[in-house]
Amino acid sequence: MARSAANDRGGPRERDDSRRDGAGRDDAGPDAPADSSPPALAIEGVSKRFGSGEASVLAVDDVSLTVERGSIVGLLGPNGAGKTTLIKCALGIVLPDAGSVRVFGTDVGDGRRAAYANVDAMLEGARNDYWRLTVRENLRYFATIAGVDPDSVQARHDRLLDRLELTAKADTPVRDLSRGMKQKVSLASVLAGGADLVFLDEPTLGLDVESSRTLRRELRRLAREEGLTIVLSSHDMGVIEDVCDRVVMMANGRIVADDTVGALLSGTERDVVRVVSADIDDRVVATLRERFDVRAVEAGPGAAGRDGRGSTAVEVAAAGDALYDLMDALREAGVTVEDVRTVRPELEEVFVDLTGMESGGSGTVGDDRTAAEPRGRSS
Amino acid sequence: MSGGEDIPSSAAADPIDEPRPATYYHLARAVLYREYLIFVRYPANAIGGIVVALFFFGVLFYGGRLLAGQALTDSLSGIIVGYFLWTLSVGAYSSVSNDIGSEVQWGTLERHITTPFGFAPVALFKGVAKVIRTFLTSAVVLAVMLLLTGTRLSLDPLTVVPVAGLAITSVLGLGFAAGGVTVLYKRIGNWLNLLQFGFVALISAPVLDAPWTRFLPLAHGSAMLQRAMVDGVRLWEFGLADIGLLVAVAAGYLLGGYVVFHYATRRARRLGVLGDY
């Protein structure tokens, strides 16, 4: 993909062509740069305090973070964790008190305008473009603002509209579109200038299932095929798990976890198995409790057995030999197992553990879930 | 990366883009076109501004005639020129801060901050676009005022546009400074808008009796515009010193305002309040 500007005609846009080739990123992985060229984003020791004296707030506290080109990094944290301030520091909208931010090797503090040639952001969701202008007018305007002659990227705009299923609405004022379409137009306008690094804040907020899937697909494709680097902030754990190579969790202005989704999940307890049987009754449960760590017992329709009713599910901590012991115990108790599977912890649980947040509390993920709902997902 | 099916890649069949860098010409074109689109798609704003300006002139004209009679009629030409310049000045002064306010409301301000052109140059281009728009609406106001009062003025565009344009460039500079201060101290914006009533004093400044007032914004330009529109003096009939002072005052205040804006936004970045409304 040759998105680079020839840059032989002056103007504000200077780009590093060396990062254009996204080939090989699938092999290299997000944490293994394919070459020695600088990462898309390098944040080193950034701190930011707002106000002074006792009323001051340390929004970001000595944060260091590197994002390799072509990767998608999820930024998670409860409200007030410092995510937005960190993003604004990365964008140069807020100057940090200490530390440095480099975008493709360009120091944002020293060469902010040069850095802006390679970066764009969707910070306002659907409110990120002009609603009185048509979809295509927005793309052309924001491509220009991003430093690209819009006539030279007309084909790119057509592809963007096509892939985001907006072609039929290209000449419609944005205000006449649905919420989901407005959100997609926002993303399209951010991508219209061909930035190599984009920050997306809640890109799927308010989207229906199909629109969200379309947008996620496009984000993955852009990263894989075009080498686009994405820093994505969202409270939607499904989006983070589905799209991101890597997750950075923040709390109280600091990074509390930085790893791949898989590694974060595998780092948590995975030795819980869920057994479903119509033969599990109070006596069996009591027997199991004597020998094992029984985490949960569910009865009724939520644990339907072969006959669709009357089954009970128990979740027991049992790994390795303990799993064989559990099966033996169930056989001895005369239990015919209908279903057994390991319980995979959800990212939300990891998030809650690491950030010390209460589920359902302000600023946590999954605020619409009740605390009584079972957590974890069987796999 | 996990899960989900990807759209089949069509990259191989895509035409290869060769993005060219946008120049300041492209920026000017985009900003002007956007201003035009906003103008025609928010007609109520434009029409409302014209109606309000004409309403105040109507009050001034009919009220003044009731109170001052012939005295008002004798100075009517000067009043119309002054009022025309005042509407231009108000538009120029509020262009930057109003534009920032609108961008905040629309959620698009950050995108103008994170532009490789730089926030201040983009704000300047947008301010100029707003001034051009103001010229159009003020021209309508001027035409209605002339029809309403039956007054005749010299309307040589080669003279009126440059003189009025340079006169209000100094106010655009003040507007730039006010915009910068507004970015830094949000609530001060409404107070700064009160300054526009001070333009009346600047437009009617006694430049002959107090020559130092020529160095104030608007004053010298206003005197030249009066001579151009009331007395019919053409641009090339003005002395070089007059034109030189007009240009110098315009450039000085614009540069000063630009510098204030630049430093105010830099401080706003430091305080973390840029775009934080």
Q: What is the pTM of this model?
A: 0.77
Same domain, A210 and A105: yes
Last residue of a domain, one of A239, A265, A291: A265
Q: How large is the average pLDDT for residues B185-198?
A: 77
B19/A225 CB distance under 8 A: no
pLDDT at residue A308, as a whole number:
52
If you average pLDDT over every residue of chain B, what do you get? 86
pLDDT of B3 higher than 50: no
How far does the CA of residue A157 sit from the closest CA of chain B (Å)? 10
How far does the CA of residue B137 sit from the closest CA of chain A (Å)? 21
Same domain, A98 and A30: yes
Look up residue A118 and give its amino acid.
N
Q: Which of A94, A131, A133 to mutate to test the interface with B (most CBs of B within 10 A)?
A: A94
Same domain, A27 and A111: yes
Give chain A's domain count.
Answer: 2
Q: What is the pLDDT of residues B65-90, one digit of tens each?
A: 777 777 667 788 899 999 999 999 99
Look up residue B208 and give its two tokens: 């002959």
Q: Going by DSSP bridges, is the β-strand pair A119-122/A41-50 parallel, antiparallel, or unpaired?
A: unpaired
Q: Going by DSSP bridges, is the β-strand pair A246-251/A254-260 parallel, antiparallel, or unpaired?
A: antiparallel
pLDDT at residue A270, as a whole number:
60
Q: What is the pLDDT of residues B219-274, one digit of tens each?
A: 999 999 999 999 999 999 999 999 999 999 999 999 999 999 999 998 988 888 87
Q: What is the pLDDT along chain A (379 residues), one digit of tens a residue?
A: 333 333 333 345 444 444 443 333 333 344 444 456 889 999 999 999 988 888 888 999 999 999 999 999 999 888 888 888 999 999 988 999 999 999 999 898 887 788 888 899 988 666 788 999 999 999 999 999 999 999 999 999 999 999 888 999 999 999 999 888 888 899 899 999 888 999 998 888 777 888 888 888 888 988 888 889 999 998 888 888 888 989 998 988 999 888 888 777 776 656 788 888 888 888 888 988 888 888 888 875 444 444 555 788 888 887 778 888 889 999 998 888 888 888 766 777 777 777 765 444 433 333 333 333 333 434 3
Coil/strand/helix, residue A11: coil
pLDDT at residue A363, as a whole number:
39
Residue A352 is assigned to a structural domain of this protein = no
pLDDT at residue A319, as a whole number:
74
pLDDT at residue B225, as a whole number:
95
Same domain, A210 and A334: no
Sheet of A41-50, strand order: A57-67, A41-50, A98-103, A106-107
Residue A224 is assigned to a structural domain of this protein = yes
pLDDT at residue A202, as a whole number:
83
Choose among B15, B20, B23: nearest Cβ to A155. Answer: B15
Same domain, A338 and A278: yes
DSSP-derived secondary structure letter, B197 = G
Same domain, A298 and A319: yes
B14/A155 CB distance under 8 A: yes
Contact indicator for A191, A198 with CB cutoff of 8 Å = yes
pLDDT at residue B209, as a whole number:
85
pLDDT at residue A48, as a whole number:
93
Contact indicator for B222, B167 with CB cutoff of 8 Å = yes
Choose among B23, B41, B115: nearest Cβ to A145. Answer: B115
Task: List Cα–Cα distances, A228 to A71, A223, B243, in angstroms.
Answer: 7, 4, 53
Query: Which residue, among A367, A368, A344, A345, has the nearest Cα to A78 in the 3D structure?
Result: A367
Q: Which CATH number fits the domain that encloses residue A276?
A: 3.30.70
Q: Compare B213 and A357 and report the one with higher pLDDT.
A: B213
A124/B107 CB distance under 8 A: yes
pLDDT bracket for residue B5 (50, 70, 90):
very low
Look up residue A139 and give its two tokens: 């793309």
Same domain, A58 and A89: yes
Q: Residue A254: which domain range? A: 17-118+196-265
Residues of chain B positioned with their CB less than 8 A from the CB of A113: 115-118
A13/B4 CB distance under 8 A: no
How far does the CA of residue B172 sit from the closest CA of chain A (Å)? 22
pLDDT bracket for residue B277 (50, 70, 90):
low
B114/A116 CB distance under 8 A: yes
Same domain, A27 and A114: yes
B18/A120 CB distance under 8 A: no
Return the H-helix or E-strand segment holding A300.
Answer: none
Residues of chain A positioned with their CB less than 8 A from the CB of B41: 132-133, 173
Is B269 an 8 Å CB contact of chain A? yes
pLDDT of B167 higher than 90: yes
Same domain, A219 and A339: no
Q: What is the pLDDT of residues B103-153, one digit of tens each?
A: 888 888 888 988 999 998 999 999 999 999 999 999 999 999 999 888 899
Q: What is the pLDDT of residues A167-195, one digit of tens each?
A: 999 999 999 998 888 888 998 999 998 88
Q: Which CATH number fits the domain that encloses residue A83?
A: 3.40.50.300
pLDDT at residue A237, as a whole number:
82
Residues 88-147, chain B, touching A (beta carbon < 8 A): 106-108, 110-118, 122
Same domain, A202 and A312: no
Residue A371 is assigned to a structural domain of this protein = no
Return the H-helix or E-strand segment holding A314.
Answer: strand A312-317
A48/B112 CB distance under 8 A: no
How far does the CA of residue B53 sit from the closest CA of chain A (Å)? 25
Residue A136 is assigned to a structural domain of this protein = no
Is B274 an 8 Å CB contact of chain A? yes
ipTM tops the 0.95 cut: no
Query: Which residue, among A45, A104, A43, has the nearest Cα to A69 in the 3D structure?
Result: A104
Residues of chain B positioned with their CB less than 8 A from the CB of A156: 17, 19
Same domain, A111 and A206: yes
How far does the CA of residue B17 sit from the closest CA of chain A (Å)? 6
pLDDT bracket for residue B276 (50, 70, 90):
low
Is B43 an 8 Å CB contact of chain A? no
pLDDT at residue B217, as a whole number:
93
Residue percentage of chain B with pLDDT more than 70: 91
Residue A185 is assigned to a structural domain of this protein = no
A116/B22 CB distance under 8 A: no
Q: How many helices (H) and strands (E) does chain B have?
A: 11, 0
Residue A128 is assigned to a structural domain of this protein = no
pLDDT at residue B158, as a whole number:
94
Domain boundaries, chain B: 24-271
Residue A353 is assigned to a structural domain of this protein = no
Same domain, A222 and A284: no
pLDDT at residue A29, as a whole number:
41
Residue A98 is assigned to a structural domain of this protein = yes
A120/B272 CB distance under 8 A: no
DSSP-derived secondary structure letter, A271 = -
Residues of chain B positioned with their CB less than 8 A from the CB of A48: 272
Chain B residue with the nearest C-alpha to that of A115: B116
